[in-house]
Amino acid sequence: MELNLPHNKKLILFDGVCNLCNASVQYIIKHDKKNVFLFAALQSDLGKQIIEAYGIDTNKTDSILLYTPENGIYYKSTAALKIARHLGFPINVMGTFIIIPAFIRNCVYDYIAKNRYKWYGKKESCMIPTPELKNKFLG
């Protein structure tokens, strides 16, 4: 599946009903000084199309994905660390943790993802972006 994203843009797919995921999206928007990221909820039509096109098992990966036109889909901790690299200091320093093997990083990631609803709560429906942020959301 080839998404027709604007030049130099990356798409973050997130769990639209997860409070932690929504807070993370708000943080990314605030710190995305180079305007690199666009967003879509996994529950949106676009999110569902990408999940189907890439054969993603939402029982194993259900919180954040990063799509880049040049490399396709990144999952779990790799997606989070590649996103962090594009944000300002000090969060961009977290990108250096990419040197840790993914199976170790993903153990921590999976533990947080598994407990995110219990710790942070869940919304009944996906967030609706404000009019000034609407152009950052696809789907």
- The length of the chain in residues reads 139
Q: Helix H segments across 1-139?
A: 19-31, 45-53, 76-84, 102-120
Instruction: Return the pLDDT at 28.
Output: 95
Per-residue pLDDT of 31-84, as tens digits, reads 999 999 999 998 888 888 888 888 888 777 667 899 998 888 999 999 999 999
Instruction: Return the pLDDT at 9.
Output: 92
**Euclidean distance between CA atoms 136 and 11, whole angstroms:** 9
